[in-house]
């Protein structure tokens, strides 16, 4: 087993009950699902500007993070955890909503731009690199750029919500692969789904 596997999964989202069920919070949904399956709680960690959960996966420690900084300051929280645990960008997976993918799809990639996503933009800026991994959770595009803000801060339909949760389940099935640095295998498994 390699030490280059994922050690931190960051779910991007906005704190607060008003944002909990919105499309922009699907990153939070993902890490919540992992924590629930592991029966481990999130704990508020002021020094990390967020909530942190520690789980064991395939005999390895893995941490889950929900930044409490709001989306456009996500990097502050990610960088604080990365520094404290001495993690390289290649050991970090950031789960986020993706307008450019259809609902029900999920894709894994390393590096790349932010495509206008404020959480990714700030994480790239604060970490000083694009080389972290991303789990892109499809929410589809509303069709018009002027509708994007209201759309991502809105709740998905019941049907879309089910599609997103199915995609999150698919992603949960490759967590051990990610922890053990079997990235190509994880990609192959995810990208042939749906």
Query: pLDDT-derived band of residue 4, with 50, 70 and 90 as boundaries?
Result: confident
**The 3-state secondary structure of 4-59, one letter per residue:** CCCCEEEECCCCCCCCCCCHHHHHHHHHHHHHHHHCCCCEEEHHHCEEEEEEEECC
- The active-site residue out of 24, 117, 141, 191 is 24
Query: pLDDT-derived band of residue 29, with 50, 70 and 90 as boundaries?
Result: very high
Q: Return mean pLDDT, the chain.
A: 95
The span from the CA of 150 to the CA of 153, in Å, is 5
Give yes or no: 114 in active site.
Answer: no
Q: What is the mean pLDDT of residues 19-28?
A: 97
**pLDDT for 194 beyond 60:** no
Summarised one tens digit per residue, pLDDT across range 129-140 is: 999 999 999 999
**pLDDT for 2 beyond 60:** no
Which residue is listed with tokens 């909530």? 51
Residue (of 28, 20, 17, 13) closest to 118 by Cα position: 13
What global pTM score does this model have?
Answer: 0.96
Which pLDDT does position 192 carry in this prediction? 79
Q: What is the mean pLDDT of residues 39-68?
A: 96
Assigned fold of 8-191: Rossmann fold (3.40.50)
Contact 40, 53 (CB under 8 A): yes
């Amino acid at each position: 087993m390699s030490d280059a596997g994922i050690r931190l999964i960051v779910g991007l989202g906005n704190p607060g009950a008003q944002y909990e069920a919105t499309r922009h919070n699907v990153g939070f949904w993902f890490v919540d699902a992992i924590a629930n399956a592991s029966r481990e709680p999130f704990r508020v960690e002021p020094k990390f500007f967020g909530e942190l959960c520690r789980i064991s996966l395939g005999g390895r420690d893995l941490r889950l993070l929900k930044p409490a900084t709001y989306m456009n300051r996500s990097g502050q929280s990610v960088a604080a955890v990365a520094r404290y645990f001495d993690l390289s960008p290649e050991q970090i997976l950031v789960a986020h909503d993706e307008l450019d993918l259809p609902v029900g799809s999920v894709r894994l990639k390393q590096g790349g731009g932010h495509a206008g996503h404020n959480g990714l933009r700030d994480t790239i800026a604060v970490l000083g690199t694009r080389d972290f991994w991303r789990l892109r959770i499809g929410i589809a595009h509303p069709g018009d750029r002027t509708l994007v803000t209201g759309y991502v801060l809105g709740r998905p339909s019941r049907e879309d919500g089910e599609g997103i949760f199915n995609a999150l389940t698919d992603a949960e099935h490759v967590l051990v692969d990610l922890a053990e640095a079997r990235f190509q295998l994880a990609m192959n498994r995810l990208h042939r789904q749906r």
